[in-house]
Amino acid sequence: MFTKLRAHIEKIVPLSDEEFEHISSFFTCKKYKKHQFLIQEGELVTCNYFVIKGLLKLVYTDDTAKEHIVGFAMEDWWETDFQAYYKQTHATMSLECIEDTEVLCLRLEDYRKLCESFPKLEHFFLEKAYMGFISAQQRIISSMTVGIKERYEQLVEKYPSLIQRVPKSLLAAYLGVSRETLSRLSL
């Protein structure tokens, strides 16, 4: 489990065996079944999750009880309700397993200790944040400037394995269209 984390970190910064041994001691391993929640709306968010195996969806539920899929997370991705995590407040979103999932959990206090102790790990997390911001901005611009068909094609091109694993109804919710519309687009 930890070898995947090390490989993930070392895509950005090198680590010695001693450094990684110390870093890994701050993470806990957890396993969840399909449909289990890692985070439920209204709960305090204590962890950021690195996905070792499985697939998650981050969901915002509006006042009419309609679910909006904010994002998906699969192997080698980090996910949480970031606002609630960093501000240590109650979740406004839920994080649910689409498949049986294994994660490494990092508590905020441990994240801060790691960044303080290992400047290169702080650099790693900063690089991950940059990539997340860029991706979020691209998604926002795409949703404002291109049609549904183009957004679906962008999703297929960027994450082909995700398309194979996520049910069409969830992909439709992510794209903000009906299941029927998505079926017409993906023919």
Which pLDDT does position 163 carry in this prediction? Answer: 87
Q: Is 24 exposed, middle or buried (0-12, 13-18, 19+ CB in 10 A)?
A: middle
In the structure encoding, which two tokens stand for residue 37, read together? Answer: 């929640």
Q: How many whole angstroms separate alpha carbon 124 and alpha carbon 19? A: 14
Tell me: the pLDDT tens digits for 135-162? 999 999 998 999 988 998 998 899 999 8
Which pLDDT does position 184 carry in this prediction? Answer: 84
Q: Which residues, given as ranges, of the chain have pLDDT below 70? A: 186-187
Which pLDDT does position 185 carry in this prediction? Answer: 74
Q: Is 149 exposed, middle or buried (0-12, 13-18, 19+ CB in 10 A)?
A: middle
Which pLDDT does position 182 carry in this prediction? Answer: 83
Amino acid at 163: I
**Residues 44/88, Cβ–Cβ less than 8 Å:** yes
